Amino acid sequence: MNPYINRRQLLQHGAHGFGWLALNAMLAGTAQAQKPHFKPRAKHAILLFMDGGVSHVDSFDPKPLLKKENGLPFKMKIEATQFDANGHVLASPWSFKPYGKSGIPVSDLFPCTGSVIDDICVIRSMKVDFPEHAQATLMLHCGHPLQGRPSMGSWLSYGLGTENQNLPAYAVVSGGMVPLGGVENFGSGFLPATHQASTFDAFSGGEAIPNITPREAVTRQIGKLDFVATSDQAFLKSLGHADPAVDAAIRNYETAFAMQSAVPELTDLRGETEITRKLYGLDSADKLKSQYGRQLLLARRMVERGVRCVEVGYVRGIRNVAPWDQHGSLMQHHAQNAYIVDQAIAALLTDLKSRGLLDSTLVIWAGEFGRTPFAQGADGRDHNPQGFTIWMAGGGVKGGMTYGATDEYGYRAVEDVVTMPDLHATILHLMGINHKKLTFEHGGRDYRLTDVHGEVLQKIVA
């Protein structure tokens, strides 16, 4: 009889916290940061995912022609839409006005974001080839429309590692929702499992990570870790060859142990000043607004402590899926969504800047696509992948500028068109990575986040 239990049995019997953490890859790569290809402009990245697709013509891409032709038949050729219920031209119900020294126009939906527009580069010429949420969301996160590819955060973890041996390199601050496309948006794909995201629950009110609070004496935990490490080493020896998965499991257990002190301190916001708490809107009577403020404050604390890549998920409340997906009730729900996020987003940029962190932290605000300039039904907009807006700030990006353009209706990107591989190539470039050199061999070929595409947007690099 084999004197050693197998790995499945080990995880079944040792699942009192450590097994769960190991399976969910709390450790992102090695504890030491890896060497970038060249001097990075940014050390950290924060993705603010606007789940469902914000209407660009109602937020950061004003189109006066929509007001002039409001209610008239749309004059351009219309590509197939998701629901094929295309109406007439629909003017934005919000006004735009210039903000900052740059004078970039922002709609009344985002007055707080407008106040920091001089730190923001607005990219108005994004496009994606997929009009459906799951595929477009996976394309934004993973550079591919199908499940199974590593997410951008996983590639950053793989390429650069973490700066804090007690925290993961890649974290998702969850607001209680999983975007369409599923958890594969945060998965490591064919990269080692240690590079997938660690999810921090900022919604339920319980522990940010289940079982992170010690339930027993440290000495007993150390004994368990020693037993696990010995068992894994014995299993590795029985294989007769090196196994990265076993090595990763050993590191995961050790990191889970270290995180028991690091995570509670990280997620405890009580030490933040009252000024900071008000800045983020934690005192708001609107529970969803204060919730999103807590998420962004936690994201700041993460990069402050060396987490490489953070994604902040949307708040569950207005809808349980794709909150920005307004096929109807555009004015009501876009206004509600913007009210929830606007103050906290401006607070994040302001706070990072005041702490000297904005220059080294790349903040990306993006949905999976935009929305049509013509109506769906009476008061909605359908999906529009042909042209939409995202923005970036900090981390080596020129602030107070716009890049690219859509046509006079805001339907198609027509000037300096930016694809998802271009966006990913630029993000990696700002993080010190040559996107063509960050590869991983799988199934007999080398893969990369940008596949065989992607050009760095040099004009937006400071």
Going 42 to 45 to 49 to 50, the CA torsion angle's sign is negative
Segments in 172-304 forming alpha helices (H): 218-239, 244-267, 274-280, 287-304
Max Cα distance, the chain (Å)? 82
**pLDDT score for 16:** 43
Contact 348, 361 (CB under 8 A): no
Going 205 to 268 to 22 to 308, the CA torsion angle's sign is positive
Q: How far apart are the first and last CA of the chain?
A: 65
CATH number of the 36-191+275-460 domain? 3.40.720
**pLDDT score for 11:** 42
**pLDDT score for 216:** 59
Q: What size, in residues, is the chain? A: 462
Contact 343, 334 (CB under 8 A): no
pTM of the full predicted structure? 0.88
pLDDT (tens digit per residue) in 53-71? 999 999 999 999 999 999 9
**pLDDT score for 208:** 78
**pLDDT score for 391:** 98
> Amino acid identity, residue 136?
A
Helices (runs of H) and strands (runs of E) counted in the chain: 12, 18
**Which stretches of the chain score pLDDT less than 70?**
1-34, 211-222, 225, 242-258
**pLDDT score for 1:** 41
H or E segment to which residue 452 belongs: none
Instruction: Provide the β-strand partners of residue 446.
Output: 441
Distances (CA, A) of 82 to 79, 85, 372, 376, 384: 10, 8, 11, 10, 9
Cα atoms in the Cβ-side hemisphere of radius 13 Å centred on 230: 8
| Residue of 154, 195, 155, 252 lying closest to 29 (CA atoms) | 195
Measured at the CA of 282, the angle between CA 280 and CA 288, to 5 degrees, comes to 100
Segments in 7-81 forming alpha helices (H): 7-13, 18-23, 64-68
Distance between CA 223 and CA 225 in Å, rounded? 5
| Residue of 20, 27, 120 lying closest to 308 (CA atoms) | 27
Distance between CA 48 and CA 110 in Å, rounded? 15
Distance between CA 199 and CA 212 in Å, rounded? 12
